[in-house]
Amino acid sequence: MPLPQPELPEPAHPDVDSMLSRKFGKEVANYFSGSPLNRVSFLRPDHAFLSAALKHPSTSFLLFNKLEPLIKSGTEIAYAKLKDVQPVIGTDPFEKSEEDVIKDYNSSTYVPQVIFLGLDESKEGLVYKEWYKGQPYFAVDVTPKDNVAKAAEELIKDVEGRGLSFSKGRMHLSLPAQEAAIYAEARHLLDWNARNPFCAACGYPTLSVNAGFKRTCPPRDLAASLKNAGVHLGRVVIHSTQPWPYPANLMIGAIGQAIPGGEEIHLGHDAELDDAKWFTAEEVREALRVGTSGLGEEAGPEYKEGGLRLPPKTAIANQLMSAVVAGFASGTPMM
């Protein structure tokens, strides 16, 4: 049976007479707009405020699993309490100042996204510095992942055991307008944060600040300065490119030089690598001579089992290795 069509939200100033209302009619608020929350954006960098809002007994947490919201039914969002989400987000994710969070940034530790949505000033709740009052709302990403996978799975099992569910598809179009607006704010910010994990200028991991409304590129990343930071690159030069129509790639072949003392391989820095090791120029030269073949094909007759296998000349990887052993980087053939 189709769910009932919800009413549109009441616009903020429906009766204001103005040039616009005389020309275009009464102000309209569309579905997903007209949120009852005051976002108090200027308080977002204030970790003491965020911490107080998080811990207030009136605070509501809207949970998302893979961007699907927790609901009671197609017409009602379900809100959790701090004790429900603490096993996933920790005691207080706003304990430290934003300055310290940026200073201590470590991209190797997954931190579940927590978004401060705003204060519902029509309800009793937190009172902060006398002026700012209302019931605080947060959104939390409880998708089971990395170091919080187990805690998140337990939380999901627990809420589903209470008859709640993570809504699929577009059921949210049947929520009451005010809840739909809170849901829309939460979902688009969770999605935006998840889609922008890297800096557009330098390519390094970014971190979410301002309780989910801003991403910043920290000046340093502890993950990069820990022991085993892997291979340290000095000069990198582009050798050539290769269109790779499977399905629509341009491969860029670059040759980089490891800095002496920075040759240690650490597989943890690249999830795409199964294994890696260093080979001498002579081993590579020999493999280029006897060990190349296409995918699924046998190597040449001189190849000895256990030796290094390499892709054929049609692959840019072969051309890069040939260039290196022929002296592309050093100017003289490598011995």
Binding residues for Zn ion, rule: CB under 5 A, are 199, 201-202, 217
Smallest gap, in angstroms, from Cβ of residue 206 to Zn ion? 7
Rank residues 197 and 300 by Cβ distance to Zn ion and give the closer one: 197
95-116 as b/e, with b when 16 or more CB fall inside 10 Å? Answer: eeebeebbeebbbeeebbbbbb
Three-class DSSP category at 20:
helix
CA 299 from chain centre, in angstroms, equals: 42
Smallest gap, in angstroms, from Cβ of residue 214 to Zn ion? 14
Rank residues 99 and 282 by Cβ distance to Zn ion and give the closer one: 99
Exposed/middle/buried for 192, CB within 10 Å: 0-12, 13-18, 19+? middle
Smallest gap, in angstroms, from Cβ of residue 47 to Zn ion? 23
Distance set, CA 233 to CA 60, 259, 264, 273, 300 (Å): 48, 6, 11, 18, 34
Rank residues 199 and 316 by Cβ distance to Zn ion and give the closer one: 199
Q: Are 123 and 134 in contact (CB under 8 A)?
A: yes
Smallest gap, in angstroms, from Cβ of residue 50 to Zn ion? 25
Q: What is the DSSP letter of 286?
A: H
Q: Are 78 and 71 in contact (CB under 8 A)?
A: yes
Smallest gap, in angstroms, from Cβ of residue 217 to Zn ion? 3
Smallest gap, in angstroms, from Cβ of residue 203 to Zn ion? 7
Q: Which two tokens stand for residue 86?
A: 């603490």
Rank residues 103 and 289 by Cβ distance to Zn ion and give the closer one: 103
Rank residues 199 and 334 by Cβ distance to Zn ion and give the closer one: 199
- Rounded Cα–Cα distance for residues 309 and 299 (Å): 8
Rank residues 199 and 258 by Cβ distance to Zn ion and give the closer one: 199
